[in-house]
């Protein structure tokens, strides 16, 4: 088991990373959410502008890349509970460390959301274009809750596989070159 100092240092890095990730990641749609009148099958609906979706996904991707590079040497740069859980399952993260990281990630997420709420709540119509503090929600009437869960599950699986095969696998090309956070950025975007 790692020392208490090592666990706390890593947990603080995870806390800080999640605070910043939620603030900037969920902050992206609050300022960049633009919708237009739908056409064809979407007549009568407001649909997302493709440029908005691109900007928001790139902001999420760049945020995770920067934070992974900034925190990887303190605690592994998990910045995601699913990644932490996967690391615990394969034995790359001690259970006590994983639990501490999980608590730190959850607390950081709550703090990041609270800070974002404080930043945009003064005039919510002008400062939060998403009208949901950056929460995704189901974006179209043709999607079901089951479809949304499936897409989120597959996206999480992609992130975990990318993390495991680029940051953990000693035979991966990323073991010779430091590009694993960039690979995770691409999977998240």
**What was the pLDDT predicted at 163?**
85
**What was the pLDDT predicted at 57?**
84
Token pair for residue 89? 């399952």
**What was the pLDDT predicted at 164?**
85
Token pair for residue 52? 């908005």
Nearest residue to 14 via CA among 88, 97, 91: 97
**What was the pLDDT predicted at 39?**
65
Q: Could you give the 3-state DSSP secondary structure of residue 94?
A: coil
Cα angle value 165/107/151 (rounded, 5°): 45
The series of mean pLDDT values per 10 residues for the chain, 189 residues long, is 93 96 86 67 68 83 89 88 94 94 97 89 63 67 84 92 80 57 53
Nearest residue to 28 via CA among 57, 66, 68: 57
Q: Which residues contact 129 (CB under 8 A, 6 or more apart)?
A: 29, 30, 31, 32, 33, 34
**What was the pLDDT predicted at 55?**
83
Look at the alpha carbons of 166, 172, 175, 177 in this order and tell me if their dihedral is positive or negative.
negative
d(CA 175, CA 19): 28
**What was the pLDDT predicted at 130?**
64
Q: Could you give the 3-state DSSP secondary structure of residue 96?
A: helix
pTM, to two decimals:
0.80
Nearest residue to 9 via CA among 101, 91, 90, 95: 101
Length of the chain as a residue count: 189
**Under a CB-based contact definition with an 8 Å cutoff, are residues 17 and 79 in contact?**
yes
Q: Could you give the 3-state DSSP secondary structure of residue 47?
A: strand
């Amino acid at each position: 088991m790692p020392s208490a100092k090592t666990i706390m240092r890593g947990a603080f890095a995870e806390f800080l990373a999640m605070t910043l990730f939620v603030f900037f990641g969920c902050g992206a749609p609050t300022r960049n959410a633009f919708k237009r009148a739908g056409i064809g099958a979407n007549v009568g609906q407001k649909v997302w502008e493709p440029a908005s979706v691109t900007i928001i996904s790139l902001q999420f991707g760049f945020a995770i890349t920067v934070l992974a590079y900034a925190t990887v040497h303190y605690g592994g740069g998990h910045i995601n509970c699913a990644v932490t859980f996967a690391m615990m399952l394969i034995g790359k993260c001690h259970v006590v460390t994983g639990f501490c990281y999980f608590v730190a990630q959850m607390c950081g997420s709550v703090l990041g959301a609270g800070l974002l709420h404080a930043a945009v709540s003064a005039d919510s119509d002008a400062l939060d274009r998403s009208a949901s503090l950056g929460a995704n929600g189901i974006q179209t009437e043709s999607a079901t809750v089951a479809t949304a869960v499936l897409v989120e599950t597959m996206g999480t699986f992609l992130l975990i596989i990318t993390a495991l095969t680029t940051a953990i696998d000693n035979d991966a090309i990323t073991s010779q070159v430091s590009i694993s956070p960039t690979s995770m950025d691409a999977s998240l975007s």
